[in-house]
Amino acid sequence: MKKVISLLAVLAFFGSMANAELLKNFKYDGKLEVNGYNINNAKDFDSDKSDKYGDVDTRLMLNMGFDLNDDANAVVTIVKDNRQWGTESERINGDATNDEGILNNLYIDQAYLNLKGVVGMDHKVGRQFYGNPGDLVIYYGPKMWPYQITFGDVSAIDAWVGTYNYKDWTVTGIMGKEERVDDHMGKNLSGIDVKTKIDRFNLNAYYYYRVDNSNVDMLGLLGFRANWDCRYVEGLNIGGEYDHNNGSKKQYDLENDKYYHEYKGYAWKVNAEYKRDLAGKLGLKAEYAYLSGEKDGSDVKLYTPIAFDYRPGIISNGFGVSSNYLYSNYGEPDQAPRIGTGMKVFNLGANWTPEKLNKLNIAFDYINSKVAEKIKADDPNISIKDTVGNEYDIVATWNHSDNVSVKGYYAMFKPEKDNVEVDSNNVKHDDMETAFGAAFVVKF
């Protein structure tokens, strides 16, 4: 924070000498998010044990922008997301007894320049968010609903992002550094994203290439998306996506005496949404996603995204299934799975806004989660199923205004009983994990 104040002071000094206006056309916006919740049976699926816990997490985000000249403006985003209600009150500055002062927990997660129309393109240069929440491939930014147990760190990337628009075409390029590792070149990212609209089709093709120089890990990802507003059924939208890995990873294979494995993972997703007026506004959705897994390490067949954020389910991919008795790595190649690798998700949902109570929206979701490749049990008498479990979510959202909303939610996750271990008394605990809470959002 002191560095930011010093920087602004330097800018003010030179700005006054140049007879320029500091923070010209200054604008800001932001939001305060508060999520209170209780979770039960998450650690052991045993309703007889006292393992209920809860917290209230807060996150504050402030976006500030101002013009530097007619062709450039600056954007800075400050985030504070470490606070849980009930903890010791924070001081403005840390001291000997409390070094976690407020100023020590304010993070500048975005700081970039917008350059308009330079060489016929718009440019964003600096630390920034990139992508869309919930994406299978790439997303740098704050985790959005469903929230995790804590809001956690907000990811961003240091990059140049250039955008070129021509009629119905938009071409975006990115070159940046995801992470600096020791004295090596770290993790570098480059990519191109092309979007267009043809009649009722929205088409999107992209390619990203990330190189981890410290581990000799070269990951490529080629993908394509399409969405169609159905001409024959009003209110129906159908979408599809396919992603495929390429590149290689330094990983020693003793059996074949080689060091490099090729990335061969892939993912695909199909979805449909239907909206119509029915005593208000009714929405229906269906979605199926498949993320490849692998049985062994002969090749890297596990689907590997650039920056994963696909998280259907308040519990299974929001708070997380944290029991020691049930675990799937869900696409995390560095974690050993209990059930298998990869991911298969089927999601059915409906939401309704009553005509006479149009600030209220009631939503229901059913999520069935499986692994793409189940493991083989060491004990031949044990049969492992590919199903992780089933989840049921109910969410009621009250949109008081464009700037104030509150969600009340209840979720329950039922694990696959054949994959739940027994305790020392030979008792199998397969009770449901439950979560309920409320999430407030105030925009300003």
Q: What is the structure's pLDDT at 251?
A: 67
Q: What is the structure's pLDDT at 14?
A: 44
Q: What gap in Å lies between CA 285 and CA 283, rounded to an integer?
A: 7
Q: Is the model's pLDDT at 257 over the cut of 80?
A: no
Q: What is the structure's pLDDT at 159?
A: 96
Q: What gap in Å lies between CA 85 and CA 409, rounded to an integer?
A: 19
Q: What is the pLDDT of residues 295-333, one digit of tens each?
A: 766 567 899 999 999 999 999 888 877 655 554 444 444
Closest CA to 37 of 437, 361, 340: 437
Q: What is the structure's pLDDT at 113?
A: 95
Q: Is the model's pLDDT at 3 over the cut of 50?
A: no
419: three-class secondary structure by DSSP: helix
Is residue 20 very low, low, confident or very high in pLDDT (cuts 50, 70, 90)?
very low
What is the percent of the chain where pLDDT is above 90?
56
Closest CA to 292 of 188, 227, 221: 221
Stretch 277-294: mean pLDDT: 95
Q: Cα 7 to chain center, whole Å?
A: 32
Q: What is the structure's pLDDT at 53?
A: 83
Please give the model's pTM, rounded to 2 decimal places.
0.87
Q: Is the model's pLDDT at 1 over the cut of 50?
A: no
The CA–CA distances, whole Å, from 147 to 221, 272, 279, 440 equal: 27, 24, 31, 12
Q: What is the structure's pLDDT at 179?
A: 82
Q: Which of 34-38, 287-291, 295-299, 370-374 has the lowest mean pLDDT?
A: 295-299
**Could you say which DSSP state residue 427 is in?**
-
Q: What is the structure's pLDDT at 151?
A: 82
Greatest mean pLDDT range, 255-264, 350-359, 424-433 = 350-359
The CA–CA distances, whole Å, from 220 to 146, 157, 247, 341, 354 equal: 28, 18, 5, 20, 46
Q: What gap in Å lies between CA 158 and CA 176, rounded to an integer?
A: 5
Q: What is the structure's pLDDT at 130?
A: 97
Q: What is the structure's pLDDT at 330?
A: 43
Stretch 170-197: mean pLDDT: 90
Q: What is the pLDDT of residues 105-149, one digit of tens each?
A: 888 999 999 999 999 999 999 999 999 999 999 999 999 999 988
Q: Is the model's pLDDT at 393 over the cut of 90?
A: yes
Fill in the amino acid letter for 224: F
Q: What is the pLDDT of residues 407-434, one digit of tens each?
A: 999 999 998 887 776 666 767 778 888 9
Q: CB-based contacts of 319: which residues, under 8 Å, 6+ apart?
A: 37, 39, 42, 146, 147, 148, 149, 435
Q: CB-based contacts of 27: which residues, under 8 Å, 6+ apart?
A: 64, 65, 66
What is the percent of the chain where pLDDT is above 70?
82
**Could you say which DSSP state residue 140 is in?**
E
Fill in the amino acid letter for 293: G
Stretch 281-294: mean pLDDT: 95
Q: What gap in Å lies between CA 433 and CA 411, rounded to an integer?
A: 8
Q: For 183, left (φ over 0), alpha (ψ -120 to 50), or beta? A: alpha
Q: What is the structure's pLDDT at 95?
A: 58
Is residue 217 very low, low, confident or very high in pLDDT (cuts 50, 70, 90)?
confident
**Where do the domains of the chain lie, and which CATH numbers do they carry?**
37-51+165-443 (2.40.160)
339: three-class secondary structure by DSSP: coil
Q: Which of 100-109, 204-213, 234-243, 354-363 has the lowest mean pLDDT?
A: 100-109
Q: Which of 22-36, 43-57, 272-286 has the lowest mean pLDDT?
A: 43-57
In DSSP terms, 206 is beta-bridged to 193, 223
Q: Which of 30-34, 94-98, 398-402 has the lowest mean pLDDT?
A: 94-98
Q: What is the mean pLDDT of the chain?
A: 85
CA trace torsion 67, 70, 72, 76 (10° rounding):
10
Dig out the tokens for 101 from the structure.
């002062």
Stretch 45-66: mean pLDDT: 86
Say if residue 60 is exposed, middle or buried (CB neighbours under 10 Å; 0-12, 13-18, 19+).
middle
Q: Is the model's pLDDT at 193 over the cut of 60?
A: yes
Q: What is the structure's pLDDT at 7?
A: 47
Is residue 17 very low, low, confident or very high in pLDDT (cuts 50, 70, 90)?
very low
Whether 326 contacts 315, CB under 8 Å: no
For 401, phi and psi rounded to 5 degrees?
-160, -175
Dig out the tokens for 90 from the structure.
């924070």
For 404, phi and psi rounded to 5 degrees?
-135, 125
